[in-house]
A and B are shown apart, each in its own frame.
Chain A
Amino acid sequence: MASPAFTQQNRKERSTFTIWKALIYVVLAFWAFMVIFPMLWATISSFKTDQEIFFSPWGLPGALQWDNFARAWTKAKLGIFFFNTILVIIPAIGLTLLLSSMVAYVLARFSFRGKQFVFYLFLTGMMFPIFLALVPLYFVMQFSGLLNTFQGLIIVYVAFSLPFTVFFLTGFFKTLPTELAEAAMMDGASHYRIFFNVMLPLAAPALVSVGIFNFLGQWNQFILPNVLMSNVGLDESQSRYVLSQGLYYLYGQQFYQSDWSGLFAAVTLVTIPTLVVYILFHDRIEAGLTVGALKG
C-alpha cells in the first residue's frame, strides 16, 4: 500500500513529465509548421486569382483556378523548361553513373601505377566550390563550341558530379565479394564482361542511391546553367532555359508584369517532382546525404 505522500509525489512527477512532453510537441509542431506552411500557402495561392492573392492572402480560393497552371505551363514556358531539364538531366545522370562506376571499379579492384594520383585527383574536386573554376570554365566551353548548348551543359554536369560519385562508388565496390568475379574469370569472361554483367548488377543499390543524390543536385543546379546557358544575344525567348533558370527569370519578370497566381502555380509545379522523389526515397536520401557528409 502506497503512502499518501508517495502517490502525491508520483502524481507531481507525472504531471511535470506530461508538461515536458507537451512542450516538446509544441516545439516540434512549431518547426513542422514553419517547414510545411510556406509550401502549403504557395500551393493554395496557386489556385487563386490575382485579386484573391492581394486582397485576401489568407483566404481559400473561391473557385479553383486551374487556368493558372495552364498559363504557367504554356505562356510562361514552364513546359519547355521542364522538357529542357529532363533532356539534360537524364543523359547527365546516366553518364555520371556509367563513367563513375568505371573509375570506381578500377580504383577499388586493381592496383596499378598512378592509382593514388587518380584517386586524389578526383577527391580534390570535391573540396573546391564551383565558382573558383567559373571564368576559365566559361572559356573552355566557348573554345570548344559548347557554350549555350545542351551537350555542353550535360558534359559539365557529368564532370562536376564525378568526384562525389566516384568516391561513393569506390567505397561500395570495395565491399563487394571477389568470389563471383573470380569464378567468372575462371569461365574465361573478359574484364569488360565481368564489369558489365557481374559487377554493375551487384552495384545496383549503390547506383540508385547515388543516382538520386545526383538527380537532386542536378535538378537544383543554379550557377552552372545561369552562367553557361545564359543564351545572351542568341535566344531572347528563353526557349533553352532549364527549370531553375526559367523560374528565376519568371520571378524577375514579376516586377514588370505581375502574374502572381501564375508564379505560385509555377512554384507548385516545380516542387512536385522533388516532393515525389523525396517521399518515395527519403530513407535513401537521408542516409546518402548524411553518410556523404560524414565520410567526405
Chain B
Amino acid sequence: MKYGQRTFIFTFLFIPVLVYVVFVAVPYLTSMAVAFTKWRGLSMNITFNGFNNFIKLGNDENFWNALSHNGIALIALPIVIIIISLFFAFLFTQGIRGNGFFRVAFFFPQVMSAIIVGVLWSFVYHPTIGMLNGFLGILGVSSMKSFPWLGDPNTVFGAILAVTVWQAVGFYMVLFITGMESIPPHFYEAAKLDGANSIVMFIQITIPMLWESIRTAIVFLALGAMDMYAIVMIMTNGSGGPSRAADVVPRYMVEAAFQNGEWGYATAMAVVLMLIILILSILSLRFTQRETLEF
C-alpha cells in the first residue's frame, strides 16, 4: 500500500515538474548567470564579463530613459487607478439601479487582449479620423486639430498611461466592491446613528476595512508598471515612441536581445528590473502594513 502510494505521487509529479523546471525554473535561474557574461550575436562564444554589463547599463542613456518611464508609471498608475476605482466602488454603494450592467461593462476592458486595446486606442488617438480629436473639435478646441497624440514625444507616454488606467479601473473596482461586501453592516448602522453621512462613513469605515484589498492593488499595479511591454510595443509600433519618449525597460530589453543579439547585456537589464521589483514588493508590503481590524 505504502509503496503504491509513493509510485503514485512520483508518477503524478514527474511530468508537470519536469515541464515546469525545463521551461520556467531553469530559464529564470540561468538569467542570473547570463547577466554576468559577454555573449553577443549568433555565436555560442560566452565569456565571463563580471559586472561590466551592469556598468554599461549605468552609462546607457536609453536604459535610464526607459527606466524613468517605468518609474513614472509606478507612481502614476497606482494613485490614479486606485482613486478612480475606489470612487466608482463608492458610487455603487449608493443604491443605484442597473449596477449589474455598469459592473459588467466596466470590467470588460480587463479581459480584452493588449493587442485589441492597443489597436482600438490607436484609432481613438488617430490625428484625423480619431475619436479624441473629433470630440475636441465638437467641444470647440480647435488648437488640437489633427494633433498626433502618439506621434508627439510630449503626449505619447501620457496617452499610453491613460489607456492602462482605462483598462484596469473596472477590475480594481470589482475587487473593492467584493471587499466592501464583506464589511459587516452594523459598522455603518452605528455610524449612521451618530449622524455620519455616506462620504464620512466611506472614509472612516470603508477605506480602513478595505486596506488589505488596497495593499493587494498597490502591489499588483506596481508590478504592472514595471512591465507595460505589450501596450507600449503595440501603441508605438515596436519603436518605444518618437525619440523613445514612451520606451520601457522590457521593450528595450527585447530590442537589445532579439534585434541586436546582445544576450548578456539584455539579461542584465532583466535582472536589474527584477531586483527593483523585489525591493518594491517588499517595501510596499512593509510600508502599507497596518494593524488589521478584527471583526
A282 touches B96 (CB 8 A): no
Question: CB of B120 within 8 A of chain A?
Answer: yes
A191 touches B4 (CB 8 A): yes
Size category of the B interface is 35 or more
Contacts of B30 in A (CB 8 A): 136
Q: Majority SS of interface residues in chain A?
A: helix
Interface string of A22-37 (1 = CB under 8 A from B): 0011011001101111
Query: Closest Cβ of chain B: how far from A9's Cβ, in Å?
Result: 16
Choose from B15, B22, B101 the contact partner of A140 (Cβ within 8 Å). Answer: B22
Question: CB of B292 within 8 A of chain A?
Answer: no
Shortest Cβ distance from A58 into B: residue: B134
Q: Tell me the residues in window 110-125 of chain B with beta carbons closer than 8 Å to chain A beta carbons.
A: 110-116, 118-124
With A135-B257, A270-B116 already in contact, the answer to whether A28 and B20 are too (CB < 8 A) is: no
B102 touches A294 (CB 8 A): no
A247 touches B174 (CB 8 A): no
A247 touches B119 (CB 8 A): yes
Interface string of B216-251 (1 = CB under 8 A from A): 100010010011011001100110000000000010
With A31-B106, A106-B9, A135-B266 already in contact, the answer to whether A162 and B20 are too (CB < 8 A) is: yes
Contacts of A54 in B (CB 8 A): 128-129
A222 touches B115 (CB 8 A): yes
Contacts of B274 in A (CB 8 A): 128-129, 132
B170 touches A35 (CB 8 A): yes
Choose from A34, A191, A286, A293 the contact partner of B5 (Cβ within 8 Å). Answer: A191
Question: CB of B277 within 8 A of chain A?
Answer: yes
Q: Tell me the residues in window 74-110 of chain A with beta carbons closer than 8 Å to chain B beta carbons.
A: 99-100, 102-103, 105-106, 110
Query: Closest Cβ of chain B: how far from A113's Cβ, in Å?
Result: 10
Question: CB of B175 within 8 A of chain A?
Answer: yes
Contacts of A103 in B (CB 8 A): 12-13, 16-17
Choose from B12, B230, B254 the contact partner of A134 (Cβ within 8 Å). Answer: B254
B9 touches A112 (CB 8 A): yes
Q: Tell me the residues in window 136-187 of chain B with beta carbons closer than 8 Å to chain A beta carbons.
A: 166, 169-171, 174-175, 178
B227 touches A129 (CB 8 A): yes
A39 touches B230 (CB 8 A): no
Contacts of A264 in B (CB 8 A): 123
A163, B21: Cα distance in complex, Å: 11
B238 touches A252 (CB 8 A): yes
Residues of chain B having any CB pair with chain A under 8 Å: 4-6, 8-9, 12-13, 15-17, 19-28, 30-31, 34, 88, 91, 94, 96, 101-116, 118-124, 128-131, 134, 166, 169-171, 174-175, 178, 212-213, 216, 220, 223, 226-227, 229-230, 233-234, 237-238, 250, 253-254, 257-258, 263, 266-267, 270-271, 273-274, 277, 281
Residues of chain A having any CB pair with chain B under 8 Å: 20-21, 24-25, 27-28, 31-32, 34-39, 41-42, 45, 53-54, 57-58, 99-100, 102-103, 105-106, 110, 112, 118, 121-122, 125, 127-129, 131-138, 140, 155-156, 158-160, 162-163, 166, 190-192, 195, 216, 219-220, 222-223, 226-227, 230, 243-244, 247-248, 251-252, 255, 260, 263-264, 267, 270-271, 274-275, 277-279, 282, 285-286, 289-290, 293-294
Using A159-B22, A251-B122 as known contacts, list a sample of 12 further A-B pairs with CB atoms less than 8 Å apart, ordered by residue number in A.
A32-B105, A99-B15, A102-B16, A105-B12, A125-B24, A129-B277, A159-B19, A222-B115, A251-B234, A270-B113, A271-B112, A285-B111
7 examples of A-B residue contacts, CB within 8 angstroms: A121-B21, A125-B28, A129-B273, A136-B30, A191-B5, A252-B237, A274-B111
